[in-house]
C-alpha cells in the first residue's frame, strides 16, 4: 500500500502548536518523510493568542526558511500558512495556503465555530440562527465556498466539514438530510471548479473527538464525483501525531472511490497511485 509521507498541516510554538520547527522536522525525518510543510495560523486581529501576530509572523517565516537551508538534501521544508476567511496579512511569502473557516461574523463580533463542545454550537444556533442548525450550515458553507474569492490565493481547503467536529458527542446537524447536502454539494462544486485541493484531515481523530477524518464519507465521495483532489494531513499540534492514522486515511480515501492522493513537491501537487 502507498505510504503517505508528507504533512502540510502542522502548527508550531509560533502559534498554538507544542513543538518547534526543528523538532517537527526531526520527527518527520525519523518517520521517513521526504518533505514537511508548516501552516502557521495567520493573524486574526479580533482573536489573538492561538495565531501568529505582526511580529511572530516574520519570525516564523524567517525560522522556516532558515531550517529549509539547514536541512537541504535531508528533507524538503515547505513554508505555508493556514489562513482563516477573516485572517489578514500578506500571502506572497508562502509556498502554499490552506484556507479555513473557523469564525463567523455576527452582530456581536466574530465567534468561533471550531469547538468540540456541542453546547457552544447550540448556543450559537440559538442566539444567531433562530435556533435552526441548517441556517448555520448555510452560512458556514457560504463562507467556505467564498474562500477563493476572499483570499488572494488558496491551494487547499482545510477541514471541509469542521462543523461536524463534535457530531459524535452530540448530533446537532442533520448531515444526512437533503438540505445539508445541498449546501455542502454547492460548496464542493464551487471549490473544485476553482482548482482547490481538499485535505483528508485526521486532526480531530488524533485528539480523540472523532472516529473518522474530515470530510465525512458522503462529502468525500461527492468531492470525488466532481473530480476533486485530496491530500492527507493530521492538523498536527504535537509531534507524536505527525502521521496520525495516515495508513487508515489512505484506505479511507480508497474506499470512497479515489485512485490517487496528492503530495506537494517542488511547488506542484503530484498524483500518487493508491
Ligand atoms: Zn483549522
Ligand atoms: Zn490547523
The structural domain count of the chain equals 1
What does each C-alpha distance from 222 to 225, 250, 262 come to in angstroms?
Answer: 5, 17, 17
Please tell me the distance from the alpha carbon of residue 231 to that of residue 198, in angstroms, as a whole number: 6
Q: Does any domain span residue 13?
A: no
| Burial zone of 5 (CB within 10 Å; 0-12 exposed, 13-18 middle, 19+ buried) | middle
Ligand at minimal distance from the CA of 100 is: 1
The Å distance, Cα 233 to ligand 2 centre, comes to 9
Query: What region, left, alpha or beta, does residue 235 occupy, with left being phi > 0 and alpha being psi -120 to 50 degrees?
Result: left
Question: Which value, to the nearest 10 degrees, does the dihedral of the CA atoms of residues 248, 250, 251, 254 take?
Answer: 160
28 Cβ contact partners less than 8 Å away, ≥ 6 residues apart: 7, 35, 36, 75, 242
The Å distance, Cα 171 to ligand 1 centre, comes to 21
Ligand at minimal distance from the CA of 40 is: 2
- Torsion sign over Cα 27, 31, 32, 37: negative
The Å distance, Cα 73 to ligand 1 centre, comes to 30
- pLDDT the model gives residue 117: 97
61: β partners = none
- Residue 256, all three cell numbers: 470512497
Q: Where are the alpha helices (DSSP H) in the chain?
A: 21-30, 54-70, 118-128, 133-150, 178-193, 203-206, 217-225, 246-255
Tell me which residue range forms the domain holding 203. 83-273
- Residue 64, all three cell numbers: 522556516
Q: Does any domain span residue 72?
A: no
Q: Does any domain span residue 217?
A: yes
Please tell me the distance from the alpha carbon of residue 30 to that of residue 40, in angstroms, as a whole number: 22
The Å distance, Cα 262 to ligand 2 centre, comes to 19
Asked if 55 contacts 28 with a C-beta cutoff of 8 angstroms, the reply is no
Compute how many other C-beta atoms are within 10 angstroms of the C-beta atom of residue 189. Answer: 16
The Å distance, Cα 235 to ligand 2 centre, comes to 5
The Å distance, Cα 67 to ligand 2 centre, comes to 21
Q: Does any domain span residue 222?
A: yes
Q: In the 3-class helix/strand/coil scheme, how is 92-135 assigned residue by residue?
A: CCCCEEEEECCEEEECCEEEECCCCCHHHHHHHHHHHCCCCHHH
CATH of the domain at 131: 3.20.20.140
Q: Does any domain span residue 43?
A: no
Radius of gyration of the chain (CA): 18
The Å distance, Cα 65 to ligand 2 centre, comes to 20
Q: Which residue stretches of the chain have pLDDT < 70?
A: none
The Å distance, Cα 17 to ligand 2 centre, comes to 9
Q: Does any domain span residue 219?
A: yes
- pLDDT the model gives residue 1: 83
**Does the pTM exceed 0.85?**
yes
Please tell me the distance from the alpha carbon of residue 175 to that of residue 157, in angstroms, as a whole number: 19
Q: Does any domain span residue 206?
A: yes
The Å distance, Cα 9 to ligand 2 centre, comes to 6
Ligand at minimal distance from the CA of 12 is: 2
Q: Does any domain span residue 47?
A: no
Amino acid at each position: 500500500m502507498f505510504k503517505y509521507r508528507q504533512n502540510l498541516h502542522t502548527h508550531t510554538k509560533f502559534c498554538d502548536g507544542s513543538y518547534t520547527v526543528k523538532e517537527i522536522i526531526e520527527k518527520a525525518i525519523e518517520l521517513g518523510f521526504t518533505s514537511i510543510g508548516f501552516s502557521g495560523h495567520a493573524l486574526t486581529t479580533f482573536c489573538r493568542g492561538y495565531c501568529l501576530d505582526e511580529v511572530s509572523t516574520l519570525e516564523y517565516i524567517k525560522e522556516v526558511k532558515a531550517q529549509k537551508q539547514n536541512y537541504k538534501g535531508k528533507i524538503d521544508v515547505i513554508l505555508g500558512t493556514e489562513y482563516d476567511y477573516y485572517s489578514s496579512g500578506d500571502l506572497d511569502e508562502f509556498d502554499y495556503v490552506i484556507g479555513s473557516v473557523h469564525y463567523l461574523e455576527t452582530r456581536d463580533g466574530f465567534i468561533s465555530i471550531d469547538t468540540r463542545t456541542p453546547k457552544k454550537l447550540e448556543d450559537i444556533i440559538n442566539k444567531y440562527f433562530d435556533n435552526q442548525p441548517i441556517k448555520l450550515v448555510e452560512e458556514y458553507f457560504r463562507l467556505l465556498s467564498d474562500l477563493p474569492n476572499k483570499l488572494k490565493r488558496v491551494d487547499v481547503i482545510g477541514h471541509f466539514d469542521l462543523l461536524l467536529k463534535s457530531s459524535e458527542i452530540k448530533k446537532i446537524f442533520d448531515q444526512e438530510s437533503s438540505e445539508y447536502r445541498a449546501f455542502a454539494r454547492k460548496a464542493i462544486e464551487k471549490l473544485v471548479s476553482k482548482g482547490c485541493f481538499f485535505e483528508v484531515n485526521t486532526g480531530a481523530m488524533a485528539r480523540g473527538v472523532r472516529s473518522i477524518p474530515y470530510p465525512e464519507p458522503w462529502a468525500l465521495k461527492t468531492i470525488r464525483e466532481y473530480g476533486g483532489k485530496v491530500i492527507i494531513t493530521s492538523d498536527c499540534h504535537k509531534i507524536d501525531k505527525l502521521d496520525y492514522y495516515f495508513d487508515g486515511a489512505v484506505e479511507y480515501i480508497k474506499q470512497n472511490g479515489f485512485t490517487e492522493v496528492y503530495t506537494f513537491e517542488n511547488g506542484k501537487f503530484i498524483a500518487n497511485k493508491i
